[in-house]
Structures are given as structure tokens and as C-alpha cells.
Structure 1
Amino acid sequence: MNKKLHLSVLALAVAFAFPATAAPTAALTDWPAPKSAIAKDAKLEARVAEIVGKMTLAQKIGQMTQAEIKTATPDDVKRYYLGSVLNGGGSWPNNNKHATAADWLALANAYYDASMATDMAIKVPVIWGIDAVHGNNNVVGATIYPHNIGLGAARNPELLREIARITAAETRVTGMEWTFAPTVAVPQDDRWGRTYEGYSEDPALVASYAGAFVEGLQGKAGAADFLDDHHVMTTVKHFLGDGGTGNGKDQGNTTVSEAELRDIHAAGYLPAINAGAQSVMASFNSFHGEKMHGHKPLLTDVLKGRMGFGGFVVGDWNGHGQIKGCSNTDCAKTYVAGLDMAMAPDSWKGMYESTLAHVKDGSLPEA
């Protein structure tokens, strides 16, 4: 694993959750217990504890915050200790949609240099996330592949592994270390506007692709090329039930039984976590009326508890702001529920400041 990404991932994986992870809720249905191919390493755990132990409160909160490149400069990364930046659709270096790979790399290097120039006792490199979901589709000249619905028709996991490998290589040359893929939604209603993002309505087919795609993007856990300079970190998304909303409404309410949620909509997570997936993205949808960004029983008790996921949970675009009582710039509830990093593209400064205030006044406990 390359040193830059190695340090970032380790810090993210343990630095965030302010409240300690709770024990699984006894009332929950039995959930699978994946066994990640990445074994725990006592030396690495100790190193992470050392890094986090030397962080100030402001630095921890900065590491929990992801900002969009249109709204956060390299100087902001340095000043606020931002843990991550992303570029959304229609966002390019210097606002130039024809930016070259060299232009992307130059901006990535500027963010990296800023993150390494902070006053943190141990510097933590910023990581850049991008939706390279059918090839590195934001960059001119990248190889573009069909969306997932087309790849599902191929019924060929090894083809998916190779597509992921090429996508990773073409993403890394632009300086980015993290893609928000794969999507393992299992669409159950063709009226859902994001059906094309799912491989299939068949959970078995989705499961057969998930692990192969993760390994293609990251490399095989334990191998010499795992998360090296030709691979990127994965995000398995969207947790959970995005393909099962009532009447196919996007960001709607999923009201299936918990057994159906587990057997259909969570089918791709077991093989992805087994393959060593490093992050999971919370979904916009609700489960029985409770927004997933604030759903502690599923984010913490199930994903981190019963399923033993040891990576970090990132939010979707201002998804925390949809939780009752929250706004895009203020949402302690999402961290209590189990979110580790808020995707706050244009609201990051307010989210940073409000979270800092909540911890200082005691309304949000610090782990």
C-alpha cells in the first residue's frame, strides 16, 4: 500500500466515530458476519492510536469533513485540516471541463502539499474522492464503460475485475486515490430513476460482481500491489435499501422487512467487505421512515457491529441534512448514528464549525 493512502485510510478508519460503537441491538435479525481479507495488525493499530492521540479536537473534526473542490481551496485544507475533497459532476480543475490528466494531477498535488503543511503533530494526507463509476468518466481521454445495468447483462465477474483495474489505473494518474464505487444497489422497481446504476434486480448476480470489482479497484488484499500507485480505495454504496423504495421513488422510503433488506439489498456488501472494501457510503433513502444517514441500528449495530465492518462510513451529498432536526450545516445526529465522514460539498465550513461547537458544549461526546 502506498504510504500516502495507507496513512489516510488508517486514520479515517478509527479517528472518527465520536461515540463508542454500541453493542448490536438484540432485536435485529441475524445478519451475515463477513471476514475481511485484511487482517488486523497490532502495529498498525498502535500507529493509528498514536496519530489520533496527537490530534486536537479541531483536527479530528477536520478529518471528518469532506469538501467540494469548487468551495475548498488548498489553503482551506491546510487551515481546517480537511480529511478529504471531492469533485462532483460538472466540477473540474480551473472550471475547465477539458482539463487534462496533468491538470487534475497538479490540483491533486496542491491539495496534498497543503495537507502536509499543517501544524498537525503527525501529518495526515488529504484524500480525493471521485465518482469514477463507469471508467474515470469525469476526465477527458479516460476509457468509458457501460453503466452497471449494461455490465450486469454480461454476467462476467472477471470482466468486471478487469474494468475496475483499468479504471483504478486511469484514476490514479490524475492524482485521486478514492472512487465512490461500486454501486451494489438491487433495483426492484423500474420506475426508480437510478435503476441503471444497479447491476441487476437479482441479488445473486450483484453479489457475484461486488467482490471482483473491489479487488479490481484496490488490488487483492495481501498482495504486493494492494492499494499501490495503480489502485484506488473503494466505496460500496448506497447503504442500505436504495433500490427498494416505495414506488421506485428516488431517496424515498424502503418499507420491506428486515429479512428482505438483508437478503436482497445487502447482498453485495458481504463479498465486498470480504474483499477488503475500505469504505461504505450511507444512502439517501429512509428505512421505515428513518433516514439512513441517521439510522444507528443499521449503520452502527448492523454494519459496524454484526457485520464487523472496520472501514469508515462516508455520507452522500449533504445527505445528513435530510435527517429530522438537522440542516446541511448542522447535524450531530449523523455522527451519533455512525457516520464517520460527512460529505458536505458546499456546507463543509458550517458543518465543521457546528460540530466543533457541539463537542465543546458537551452535546456531542468525544470518543
Structure 2
Amino acid sequence: GYPPAIEHGAQVVMASFNSWHGRKMHGSRQMLNDILVDRLGFDGFVVGDWNGHGQVVGCSNVSCPQAMNAGLDMFMAPDSWEQLYHNTLKQVKSGEISLARLDEAVSRILRVKFRAGLFTAGLPSKRPYAGKYELLGAAEHRAVARDAVRKSLVLLKNNDNILPLSPKSKVLVAGAGADNIGQQSGGWTLTWQGTGNKNSDFPNADSIYAGIEDAVQRAGGVATLSENGSFDEKPDVAIVVFGEQPYAEFQGDVTDLDYKPTGDLALLKSYKAQGIPTVAVFLSGRAMWVNPELNASDAFVAAWLPGTEGAGIADLLFTDAQGNTQYDFTGRLSFSWPKDPLDVELNIGNAEYDPLFAYGYGLSINDSQNLEQLNEEIDPSLSTVNDSHFLFAGDPVQPWRLVLNDAGGNTQVSSNHQISSQSKVEIQAKDFKAQEDIVQVNWTGQGNVSIQGNPVDLSKKASGGMAIEFAYNVLVHTATEVNLSLGCGLECAKEFDITEALKSKAMSEWHTAKIDISCFKDDESRLDEVNVPFLLSSDAGLSIQLSAINIVEGTPGSSCTL
């Protein structure tokens, strides 16, 4: 993609976090200068990614002459810029960075600014549309976005041509994503990860339910919202909106494509058992293995991340009041849909290309094509992966969740800054090796932080020499009692007092603990049905950072202590 982009006037190229033959891109003169500039003819400027220069060998976030010498013209230094500026100035004065290289970087940046007209456009506040905030989310712009939603939806299943639905029906709209603009918008919204947002944070936007409600009410039907799926009067049809929670960048990394949350599947199955026709609307940033969910629904729509125009989904799900089709499904798969959760490298052209739905697949309303029952069996090794990884880069690994608890009860962590019910425990996302790749937990009173999920059997791991491993950094430790536990719930877990062990690690950088799972074995902890694989409790005075929590093979260094 680089040659045509450069030929068509691309002015800025960002160095990635990737390595090429073992050399970080931010420090590769071969890539940034010899190939990009000399061979491809790029004459814009090269900007770094978020503290990416700090990953170059011999560099830190506040000092990296290697990156500028390699051809980086502008550092991205969100929290380290001041010291980086002074160090770079010293390095130019000492000759470690040549004056010619500095002049080259400045010239490239100025050239792009001149080409963009920044020096002739005048003050932003004096330009024609300055201050006209009514143009943000203007009706004409929203119409374009809504049309894009209609064209992006892919109909994967439509047994017995259940779609389009009559808007004069009694429609039950269920699922966590039904009235959740944050979830349907994904990451990179008001927050980096797209978490912690409320519908009110998106003025003039429509949730999927809001669009359905409007379409149904205008036709004389009844639309009822029930996130948990319960109802008093049996509906004519149920629409279940569910899918991935928002994520961005590496915090969305997964080890396989299995869509793991189980509550949505239980809801779909319950409607099927009651004979209620059901339409699944799946929100995701990628194609995923959802065979059980496909089997349990009569129609299945891959809605991706429609953003603020949730009403665009109702346009395709319903006819008009007279029963006429308003819009057809024209979206087709731009990625192959996996037949197996391990189809992570499934691409058209592969020698063993065997997807569930091929690249370019998508049904139209008039297609009479029923989808037969799909295989729901998965590779047994997947359960090993799902049962062994709990926290990665400071983020819980699906289907696990991060939970705060104090005397006020549980609080699920859903944003990069959260406080427990009675404000005894605080958790914040922090930067370590990458943006927000660790969490910092602070205690001002009695409480705990834990990983929770559906029960898994760790009894075999207890007898197989496996250990719970977690990376931690103790910032402050004046607490009088700190305990670590693992078990079948808050009331049946074996605790270890790690107060003094942690105190000896305070203010001494990062450590990795390995504790044999067998250490947690007793009659109460029930290792055959563990739903809390990690729980750290403390009273006031503890501040600790956590990066990763996994089950790994035990080593001679693993024991029943830190």
C-alpha cells in the first residue's frame, strides 16, 4: 500500500511498534530512510507512535538519538516530552545528532505544513465554519452515516425468510448491546478503549434499540427493552443484541476466535425453547466463531460496529408499515468467517481454505437459503488456553472480568478508572511498556480486587505441577493485612497471608510471583470449580501495579510464597 499512497500525495507516515528482522522500526534507518525516502520517494515527514522510540535498543522514553538518526522526524512523546526535548537538544549540541539531520527533520515538517496551507489559512477561529457546532452531527452527515450502516450489515442466516419483520409486531429487544451506544461504537471514541461511556455521552446518536423503537411505534407496533431478556407478555419476535465489549489496539488481542461470553447464548436458547422467533444482532470488530449462537437463532446479522447511527439496523430488520421491504442487505464479508476458533490465519488463497462463510458471502432478503445446524464442538486445547490466562496487558482476558469489592458489594471494572462501591478500592489504567498496559490498584480501606468468571476445573493443574503466575510492582505498602487467594468464590477460597512478603518487595521495581496451585488445595477451595482464580485483599495503605496473571508450568522457583 505504500507506493500508491505516496504517489497520491500521502504526507505523513507513522513508524510502527513492529520489528523488522529484529530491529525496532523506530530505530531502523534502512526502513525509515533508505527504503521509505530514498527508494519510494516519500517527501513528507515520519512521526513516531506512542513512546515507540523508547523501545529501541539503548533508548528510553526520554532519550533516543538513535530514532532521529534513523529518520524519525517527530517524536510522539505524550508524557515524556519535556525531558526528551532537553536531552535531544543536548545530543544535537554534542554532535550525537548532527545539525544537518535536525535541519532535515525540521524542513520536512515545515514543508508539509506549507503544503497544507497552515501558514496562509489564518487563525482557526476566523475561518468560515469556526464556532458552528451545529454542523457537528448535522442531519445531512448523519444520513450518510446511517446509509453506511445499512450497507455494512451482513446477513449470515435468515431461515424461513424471517426477515424483514413486521413493525406492527410485539417486539422484545434484549441483550447488553441493545441500548448501549458505547458498545456499538467500539474503541477510540471518548476514551481510548471505548469503555466507561454512557448513552448521554453521545448527543444526537441513536442506540440500536432507539432505532427499533422508533420504527415499530410509527407503524403501530410495540417495542419493549429488556436487557436481561425477561418479559411479562410473550413477544411475537425477540431481537437479541450482543457481542464484544469495546477495545483498541493490543488490548483486543485474543488467542483464538471463539466468542466466549455465555449469557447471550443462554438467552437465545431460552427463546428457542419457548418457540419465540429470534433475530441475533452481533456486534464485533472481527469475524468470530459463533456456531452455538448461529444455531440458536432464526436470523443472524453481523452488524460489526455501526457507531452512532443504530437506527440504520432497524431500516433493514423491518418492512415499512404497509409491509414493503425498505432496504435489502447488500453487505458482503470482507473477511472470511471462521469454521473453527483456531482459524486465526484464515485467508482466501490459502492452500487449505475452508471457511464457514467465504470471503464475499452475504445473503439478500430474497434468498431462500436455510442454514443447517452447525458443529459446536471445539478443540479441547482451547479450554486450556481459556482457563490459563486471566489478565493480559492490564486487561482481563475474555471471558474473565476484573472486579472490585468492598462492604458495598461488587463493582465490575468497565473503564480505565473505577472506584469500588464505598470508595475503599481504586483501580486505574497506567502506562508501563505501552499505553495503559498495566493496572494500578490503591486501597484506602478494606476491600479486594479479583478476577472472576464461570467455574473452571483447576484440580488437574494442581496435581500437574502448575502455578499461578502474576507480575506486580509494589508502590506503597503500609497495610497491616494483605491476603492472596484462589478458589470457588469469595466464601470458599484458601488464603495466604503475603503482608510481609509484599513489604519486602516495596519500591523495588517489577517482580514475578509463581505459586503452586496445589498450595490452594483444601476441602473448601474446591479447585474443580474455580470461579475466582485470583483475589488480592488488603486494608488501607497498599498500592500495587499488576500486568499479567496466568497459569504456567511450575518451576523450582515456584512455591507457596512470593
* TM-score band, normalised by shorter chain: under 0.3
Taking structure 2 as the reference length, what is the TM-score of the superposition? Answer: 0.18
Taking structure 1 as the reference length, what is the TM-score of the superposition? Answer: 0.27
More strand by share: 2
More helix by share: 1
The higher radius of gyration belongs to 2
